[in-house]
Amino acid sequence: MSLLLTGLPMIFGWICVICANSVTWLYMFRIFSGISMGMLFACYPLYIGETSAPSIRGALVSFIVNTLPLGTLLGNIMGPNMSMTYFGVISLILTICYLIAFLFLPRSPHYFVRRNDMKRAEKAIQWYFRKSDIKSELEAVEHFVKSTRAVTIKERLEQIRMPKNRRAFTIIILLFMFMQLCGLNTITFYMEIIVRKGMVTSIAPSSVVMIINAIGIIFGWCAAYAIDRLGRRIVLAISSSGVILGMLSLGLHFHLLNLDYDPGDLEWLLILSLIIFMLMYFGLVPVPSTMLSELFPSDLKSMAGFVSSMTSAIFAFIATKTYQPLVDIIGEQYVFWIYAGIIIICLLYSLTLMPETKGKTLQEIQDMMAGTTERSRRRNRVETEDTFTS
């Protein structure tokens, strides 16, 4: 139902675009679409986490989140070739199709178990897990939901204070922060301006943007294949390495331009840098949502969705609001190198501290998180005792 409701603000937004005869209508569109996207990115990972098998959960989340560049590409193609009114009409039709599709989908089995409606929970399992043992699946869902059930607000606050849940919230906040500070919005939305400032003339800047976004879609499809085979940590590490390399080389391009190198000899460097940068869709974009779908107990999922959405919105605002002022003050090259420095931290985090959830059930992940925090607590206690003894 939450995912179904995300379509309503978007419908109002596209109606604003269709009716737009002043910039006020476009502001209204951005408000409605922002509400819709905030709801969507908070809800869909949780929905997928509850309705998919562990072996394909990461692939499904990755596939969905990586349709973002597909939508961007369609917008880039439609934008120069039709009026804003037709653009809005086509997008409105697609949004209505989305709403109609969700009318026919059952709620997740976890939803019905939380409300002790076992008959409908069995039907939901039968719909989502066609070839599974319904009885064993239902028992697993019951165990997961009842082992993490918190009834009162006080009990939920106590749950949040548990070490394993504090760690889960820390992981989600960091991952969504890195996702936004890698240049997800700034580079994507300023890409045509970056290409123009980079003095690329052999290819039209709008064509470069279309090509780059199309490559982002390919990387996204590769992520859907790799995330459940290589694991979340390796995929995130590969993606972070690509973004680091792309930002370093993009900064180098603008640094060489400032040193009066021939722009014609450097066009390939800028285009290659942007292609490598699109590896963000291989891991930095899908992994946070995948982890959001997996790390939290049943009664903290809605809170986790809220925290991730707020974190993403805050850092998206910071990144987009600071990009142009920083470019004006220190120049493009240093801004891109700052992004690279931030993602170096993400790379180290993915290789050392981030847990691996590949192939685990939601209950197994809860057991793993509890075991990890308990081992960490024992290790800290031993270190403290050793220090005291010394």
Residue-wise pLDDT for 201-239, tens only, equals: 888 888 898 899 889 889 988 988 899 889 999 999 999
Tens digits of residue pLDDT in 322-352: 999 999 999 999 999 999 999 999 999 999 9
CATH topology assigned to domain 2-105+148-368: Growth Hormone; Chain: A; (1.20.1250)
Per the model's pLDDT, the better-predicted residue between 255 and 134 turns out to be: 255
In terms of Cα–Cα distance, which of 314, 306, 358 is closest to 179?
314
Q: What's the CA gap between 187 and 279, in Å, rounded?
A: 13
Q: What's the CA gap between 295 and 167, in Å, rounded?
A: 9
| Residue 257: both structure tokens together | 């331009």
Overall average pLDDT of the 10-33 stretch: 93
Tens digits of residue pLDDT in 39-55: 888 888 888 888 888 88
- Domain spans of the chain, in order of start: 2-105+148-368
Q: What's the CA gap between 311 and 67, in Å, rounded?
A: 21
| Residue 255: both structure tokens together | 């640094």
Cβ atoms of 138 and 116 within 8 Å: the answer is no
Q: What is the dihedral of CA 223, 226, 232, 235, to 10 degrees?
A: -70
Per-residue confidence at 149, pLDDT binned at 50, 70, 90?
A: low
Per the model's pLDDT, the better-predicted residue between 113 and 18 turns out to be: 18
pLDDT at residue 382 above 50? no
Overall average pLDDT of the 67-78 stretch: 81
pTM of this prediction exceeds 0.85: no
What angle do the packed helices 23-51 and 57-65 form, to 10 degrees? Answer: 170
Per-residue confidence at 70, pLDDT binned at 50, 70, 90?
A: confident
pLDDT at residue 386 above 50? yes
Cβ atoms of 292 and 308 within 8 Å: the answer is yes
Per-residue confidence at 387, pLDDT binned at 50, 70, 90?
A: very low
pLDDT at residue 372 above 70? no
pLDDT at residue 389 above 90? no
Cβ atoms of 18 and 89 within 8 Å: the answer is yes
